């Protein structure tokens, strides 16, 4: 019997420490709809994300918490550590809602932006996710999207890059 090797989605570690902006997706374990079932967890997740960004000096351009995953557009001195800290801080909070279920899928998906990529265009893509998922008709009304870099993100949304 031939064993299948698990694909490692990570880029070389040094890439995560070079100050790139990353578009990341963090999925819940087995795509369980944590952030739909528990709005209080989602509220705390947004606060934890903002606090983690502030404490680490990260720039969080955009986020959107969907029922079973989170999209982030973020820049940190060490993105891997940023994600570890964020996921690690949120996990005990999730256990207050359900003690026998894991919150996070192992690892996460990421894409390092190139210089020619538009931050505003990708942020708009993230903010449009709740519309594409059929959760709202207007992304500006979705309560679990935002930006730390652009506190007035609703004015940034749709503006020319």
| Tens digits of residue pLDDT in 73-99 | 999 988 889 999 999 999 999 999 999
Domain ranges, residue 73: 18-156
**Does some domain include residue 1?**
no
Of 157 and 41, the structure prediction assigns the larger pLDDT to 41
Would the pTM count as exceeding 0.85? yes
**Does some domain include residue 6?**
no
CA pair distance 112, 20, nearest whole angstrom? 6
**Does some domain include residue 95?**
yes
**Does some domain include residue 8?**
no
What average pLDDT does this structure show over 95-115? 89
What average pLDDT does this structure show over 135-143? 96
- Supply the mean pLDDT for the chain: 89
CATH number for the domain spanning 95: value is 3.30.70.1290
CA pair distance 104, 27, nearest whole angstrom? 6
The pLDDT tens digits for 21-52 are 999 999 999 999 999 999 999 999 999 999 99
Asked if 27 contacts 103 with a C-beta cutoff of 8 angstroms, the reply is no
**Does some domain include residue 5?**
no
What confidence tier does 61 reach under pLDDT thresholds 50, 70, 90? very high
**Does some domain include residue 60?**
yes
Q: Which residues on adjacent β-strands are paired with residue 142?
A: none
Q: What are the tokens at 156? A: 């940034």
| Total domains in the fold of the chain | 1
**Does some domain include residue 150?**
yes
Position 11 scores a pLDDT of: 65
**Does some domain include residue 4?**
no
What average pLDDT does this structure show over 99-128? 88
Nearest residue to 53 (alpha-carbon basis) of 96, 89, 16, 18: 89
């Amino acid at each position: 019997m031939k064993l299948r090797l698990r694909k490692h989605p990570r880029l070389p570690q040094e890439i995560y420490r070079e100050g790139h902006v990353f578009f990341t997706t963090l999925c819940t374990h087995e795509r369980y709809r944590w952030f739909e079932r528990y709005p209080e967890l989602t509220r705390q997740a947004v606060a934890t994300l903002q606090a983690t960004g502030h404490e680490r000096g990260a720039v969080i351009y955009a986020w959107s918490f969907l029922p079973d995953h989170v999209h982030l557009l973020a820049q940190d001195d060490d993105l891997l550590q940023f994600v570890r800290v964020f996921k690690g801080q949120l996990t005990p909070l999730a256990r207050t809602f359900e003690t026998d279920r894991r919150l996070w899928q192992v690892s996460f998906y990421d894409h390092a932006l190139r210089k020619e990529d538009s931050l505003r265009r990708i942020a708009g893509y993230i903010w449009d996710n709740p519309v594409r998922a059929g959760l709202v008709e207007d992304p500006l009304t979705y309560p679990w999207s935002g930006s730390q870099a652009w506190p007035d993100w609703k004015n940034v949304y749709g503006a020319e890059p």
